[in-house]
Structure 1
């Protein structure tokens, strides 16, 4: 028996870091939405009680360092599963990009194993399990649009954004989330206007949304990787209505209301970096 799951990427409409906790994590408030750029996960039962991962990517490990492997590991432990599984990952989401690719894969594995072994576990329970693997996994279990609080484990569903096109542009670098969070000074970082972003979603107001998206981590990543700031400036100059770095970077995205303009900006941005995508919102 084989199960297929899509693992959509996410972008941050907001990312606010509120405080550093005693356990070393940060309390955050993040509005995220899924986009139509996805990895493809294939799950197949195997007789031996083990986890196998296969994928064609020199940047992604195929062992316990992979979040998809960890997802299968915690799932099997939580529900006392003694069967094995082979996980095949077809990567389309860029790696170390701020688009939640690893988290999306882990979430897809949790959903897929639930189907593979016919357990009928509620999404809330899968999301709680996912939050033990990584900060964005709980959101990715649900997908669509939501606000995540705590360290990312508290999920509240939100209305979908107004329909629009998204240009994603990723420079040829990777960014370490741990490094970026290690440089946060909560007293001095910029904080996005989350209430206004929530209003824009409720009102389906594209212009209000575009003007208020924000990310507390941008200045830190820009200081370490100036090319990310240059991509943002290029996309603003090209005419995208709202432009923001997603997650800890380095991917920058632009919101564009109409397809013709989005296509022009997409073509223009391909001169700045190799990995450029034109996608729609799923959430």
Structure 2
């Protein structure tokens, strides 16, 4: 018994940090959408009662630190599954990049094992399980485009943005989301307009989407990592229509409507940044 599933990356079209909660997390309001840069998760049922994780990239953990491992373990314990699973992760999404690669791997594992083990769980039930693993996992279960609130685990699917190209550029550094949030001073945050972004998406206005791009974590990451600021500046200079850092960084994305500009921006960034991708928005929640 085998199951293969894609685990697409996400970008934040908006990320607003509202306040710090009593549980230590921050209350956020985010518009997230998936792009067609994806890891591949291959699941194979095994008779032995254990979880085996192999990853195409040697520096990614293959033990309980791996979110896909945690997803399999959660399902096994919650539903008393006595069989085991071998998980092979083909990585294409950069690690510690603000693109939810690990969270998407976990979500894909939940969805794939739900089918492999015939658990019959709904998307909502899988998303609730995902919230126990990490804040972005719930969104990754849904995919598509959504408003995420709470600590990021309350998901409300919304319309997809109009089709466009997305240039992703990641400098050769990793950023810890927890470390960035620790340095957030909520009193100094410039807040975005989430409702305006939702309206721009509903009206399919590419220009208004670019106008309302906002990330309340940018000021922290850009101060700590000047190379992220440099990528933002270069991407704008090369002609991207809208530029923003995704999540806690360090990946920067540019929205580009005209295909003729894509190669110029891509090649320009390749000159000083090794991880550059030209991808498309995924226009629906179907990413299997």
Q: What are the ranges of 5 or more consecutive residues in structure 1 without an aligned counterpart?
A: none
Matched, 1:160 2:133: no
Deviations 1:36-72 (A, max 9, x none): 0000000001111111001121321000000000000
Which residue does 2:120 correspond to in 1? Answer: 120
Deviation at 1:211, TM superposition (A): 1.1
Which residue does 1:238 correspond to in 2? Answer: 238
Deviations 1:82-117 (A, max 9, x none): 110000000000000000000000000000000101
Aligned residues of 1:59 and 1:95 also touching (Cα < 8 A): no
Which residue does 1:205 correspond to in 2? Answer: 205
Which residue does 2:43 correspond to in 1? Answer: 43
C-alpha separation in 1, matches of 2:272 and 2:279: 18
SS in 1 for 2:187: coil
SS in 2 for 1:187: helix
Return the TM-score normalized by structure 1. Answer: 0.99
C-alpha separation in 1, matches of 2:108 and 2:228: 29
Deviation at 1:192, TM superposition (A): 1.4
Deviation at 1:179, TM superposition (A): 0.7
- Where does 1:187-266 land on structure 2 (aligned, <5 Å)? 187-266=187-266
Q: What are the ranges of 5 or more consecutive residues in structure 2 without an aligned counterpart?
A: 284-288
Aligned residues of 1:211 and 1:241 also touching (Cα < 8 A): no
Deviations 1:149-189 (A, max 9, x none): 00111100010001100000000000011110000111111
C-alpha separation in 2, matches of 1:278 and 1:204: 21
Number of corresponding residues: 283
The alignment's C-alpha RMSD in Å is: 0.7
- Where does 1:94-173 land on structure 2 (aligned, <5 Å)? 94-173=94-173
C-alpha separation in 1, matches of 2:14 and 2:79: 35
Runs of 4+ in structure 1 off by over 2 angstroms are none
C-alpha separation in 1, matches of 2:7 and 2:160: 18
